[in-house]
């Protein structure tokens, strides 16, 4: 029999239904795999006792014939999601040992559908990063390595632990969040599927906020079908989040296997950037050929304001972050560093509690919101954001069904290779992904090939608002053509 941890969510669901194994056996297999993969540092908190209790409850449901959509499926939860009675720190020192008394809406939805929690996953501190190197718990490692090279690579960020755990077969699937590419970029770096749904499709309640007008939860999985299964459970309207949208959540899995014949797939000229690596361009060309062979029409399009997206994003996101992170002051929860008076306590707590990247973004955000620079920076960036959104609206109004682009400008890089240099070099990792967040659109990264170093590469599809179903249909065509990304060769103990 196939190793239980090699099964996709869909295959595990079918195996449980056929009573080939129990939820407890499946969960125990994952608990063992997690324990043997601690060298990856993907989990920052393991919850084996909770997992076994949940699995036992799932076995009772399965025995009674009352299986729910995710019955007995072991998942990892990004440390940004609040989980009742289980530590949630956003991988920041300032939230030391914070244990929520409430459950995020997304995780509550997953538990209501029968999923099992394996633990909390590593991420960049407050989701601020593209490599998972800003985490207070240390960097997470990518289970992939370059051919003939034992250098540890980053898994991408901020959802690095989510992507690493799924690729390494130590979680069947994982929750993640995407503010500027933090689901799609790590998915591309690890050969996994990352779905960032439309802004408002999943509730943000109970997720530690980075930039509230950009943040959106979504799944990282090993297949397009698995992403469809997970998103169906994660998505919902929520009265506790006024930005969640009251639109029916379709059966996304039903979109898998649909035809793309007659679909118009847009290819934006602006995504051909200077110095694009040959293997990224070749992968993009291959993706176009696959979709054309499947019957789709490939159409050249223009998104003229794309070049302004990255600078506008790095004004809007830090501005919202500086506002959201003002609440972390050592008074009610988390870290408190004593001071001579309350102001001194605030300053010392924040100085010690926040890491360098978070401090950098708070400083940038505070600066662009200050009285003398608000109009010059923040207001102008919001106007650019409106123009970016209109570019997409115009293209979709012309009949384009989805847009195909690269997911990242490169494959995974080594831990430490970019962390100490120019931060702008790190920010450029988001060049293909931030437009999607600025416009509030859905996007998916699908593993589509390997580079000459033996590392996975992903293609990105961008869809119409609340049309994730079309992305699953097109994404499945890409996955079928490329084949599932091979399993990384195990190097951890």
Write the DSSP assignment of 187-236 as a string of letters: HHHHT-EEEEPPTTSS--TTB--S-TTT-EEEEEESSHHHHHHHHHHH--
pLDDT at 291: 98
Tell me the pLDDT band of 420, cut-offs 50, 70 and 90.
Answer: low
Active-site residue flag, 165? no
Query: How many residues make up the chain in this entry?
Result: 493
- Cα separation, 431 vs 427, in Å, equals 8
| Phi/psi-derived region of residue 333, left when phi > 0, alpha when psi is between -120 and 50, beta in every other case | beta
Sorted by where each starts, the structural domains of the chain and their CATH numbers stand as 4-258+446-458+465-482 (3.90.1300.10)
Q: What are phi and psi of 350, to 5 degrees?
A: -70, -35
DSSP class of residue 406?
A: E
Tell me the pLDDT band of 274, cut-offs 50, 70 and 90.
Answer: confident
pLDDT at 31: 98
Q: Look at residue 2 and tell me whether its pLDDT is greater than 70.
A: no
Asked whether 447 and 275 are in contact (CB, 8 A), the reply is no
Q: What is the pTM of this model?
A: 0.96
Say how many C-beta atoms besides its own lie within 10 A of residue 474's C-beta.
29
Query: Cα 475 to the chain's mean position, in Å?
Result: 16
**Given the DSSP bridges, would you call strands 216-221 and 173-178 parallel, antiparallel or unpaired?**
antiparallel
Q: Look at residue 237 and tell me whether its pLDDT is greater than 90.
A: yes
Selected catalytic residue, list 22, 58, 78, 411 = 78
Q: Mind listing the pLDDT tens digit for each residue in 147-202?
A: 999 999 999 999 999 999 999 999 999 999 999 999 999 999 999 999 999 999 99
Active-site residue flag, 292? no
CA atoms within 13 A on the CB side of 400: 26
**β-sheet with 74-78: strand ranges across:** 43-46, 116-121, 74-78, 173-178, 216-221, 193-196, 443-450, 456-463, 402-406, 264-268, 297-301
Q: Look at residue 257 and tell me whether its pLDDT is greater than 50.
A: yes
Write the DSSP assignment of 115-154 as a string of letters: -EEEEEE--SGGG--SSS-S-TT-PPPPS---TT----B-
Active-site residue flag, 240? no
- Cα separation, 448 vs 445, in Å, equals 9
Q: Look at residue 1 and tell me whether its pLDDT is greater than 60.
A: no
pLDDT at 276: 87
Whose CA is closest to 444, among 432, 427, 454?
Answer: 432
Q: Mind listing the pLDDT tens digit for each residue in 106-146?
A: 999 999 999 999 999 999 999 999 999 999 999 999 999 99
pLDDT at 196: 98
Say how many C-beta atoms besides its own lie within 10 A of residue 256's C-beta.
20
pLDDT at 493: 79
Tokens linked to 178: 């995407």
Selected catalytic residue, list 22, 104, 134, 158 = 158
pLDDT over 70, % of the chain: 99
Whose CA is closest to 401, among 219, 259, 285?
Answer: 259
Selected catalytic residue, list 131, 182, 244, 411 = 182
Q: Is the peptide bond before 158 cis (omega within 30 degrees of 0)?
A: yes
In our burial notation (b when 16+ CB lie closer than 10 A, e otherwise), range 428-439 reads bbbbbbbbbbbb
């Amino acid at each position: 029999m196939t190793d239980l941890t090699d099964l996709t969510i869909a295959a595990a669901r079918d195996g449980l239904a056929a009573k080939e194994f129990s939820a407890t056996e499946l969960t125990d297999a994952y608990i063992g795999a997690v324990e043997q993969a601690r060298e990856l540092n993907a989990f920052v908190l393991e919850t084996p006792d909770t997992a076994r209790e949940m699995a036992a409850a799932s076995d009772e449901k399965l025995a009674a014939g009352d299986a729910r959509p995710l019955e007995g499926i072991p998942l990892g939860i990004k440390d940004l999601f609040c989980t009742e009675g289980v530590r949630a720190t956003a991988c920041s020192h300032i939230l030391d040992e914070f244990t929520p008394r409430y459950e995020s809406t997304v995780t509550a939805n997953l538990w209501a559908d029968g999923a099992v929690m394996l633990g909390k996953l590593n991420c960049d501190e407050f989701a601020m990063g593209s490599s998972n190197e800003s985490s207070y718990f240390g960097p997470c490692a990518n289970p992939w390595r370059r051919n003939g090279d034992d250098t540890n690579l980053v898994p991408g960020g901020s959802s690095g632990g989510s992507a690493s755990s799924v690729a390494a077969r130590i979680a069947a699937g994982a929750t993640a969040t995407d503010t500027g590419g933090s689901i799609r970029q790590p998915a591309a770096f690890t050969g996994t599927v990352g779905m960032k749904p439309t802004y408002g499709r999943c509730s943000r309640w109970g997720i530690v906020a980075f930039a509230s007008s950009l943040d959106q939860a979504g799944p990282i999985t090993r297949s397009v079908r698995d992403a469809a299964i997970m998103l169906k459970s994660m998505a919902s309207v929520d009265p506790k989040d006024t930005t969640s949208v009251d639109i029916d959540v379709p059966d996304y899995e039903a979109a898998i296997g649909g035809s793309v014949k007659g679909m118009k797939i847009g290819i934006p000229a602006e995504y051909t950037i200077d110095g694009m690596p040959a293997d990224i361009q070749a992968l993009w060309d291959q993706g176009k050929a696959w979709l054309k062979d499947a019957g789709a029409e490939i159409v050249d399009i223009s998104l003229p304001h794309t070049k302004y997206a990255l600078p506008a994003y790095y004004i809007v996101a830090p501005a919202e972050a500086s506002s959201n992170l003002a609440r972390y002051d050592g008074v009610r929860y988390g870290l408190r560093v004593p001071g001579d008076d309350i102001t001194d306590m605030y300053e010392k707590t924040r100085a010690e509690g926040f890491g360098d990247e978070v401090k950098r973004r708070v400083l940038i955000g505070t600066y662009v919101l200050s009285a003398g620079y608000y109009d010059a920076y923040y207001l102008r960036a919001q106007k650019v954001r409106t123009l970016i959104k209109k570019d997409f609206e115009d293209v979709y109004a012309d009949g384009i069904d989805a847009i195909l682009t690269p997911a990242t400008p490169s494959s995974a890089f080594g831990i430490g290779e970019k962390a100490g240099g120019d931060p702008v070099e790190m920010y450029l990792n988001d060049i293909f992904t931030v437009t999607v967040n600025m416009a509030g659109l859905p996007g998916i990264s699908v593993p589509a090939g390997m580079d000459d170093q033996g590392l996975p590469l992903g293609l990105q599809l961008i869809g119409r608002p609340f049309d994730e179903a079309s992305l699953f249909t097109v994404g499945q065509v890409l996955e079928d053509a490329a084949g599932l990304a091979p399993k990384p060769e195990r190097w951890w103990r």
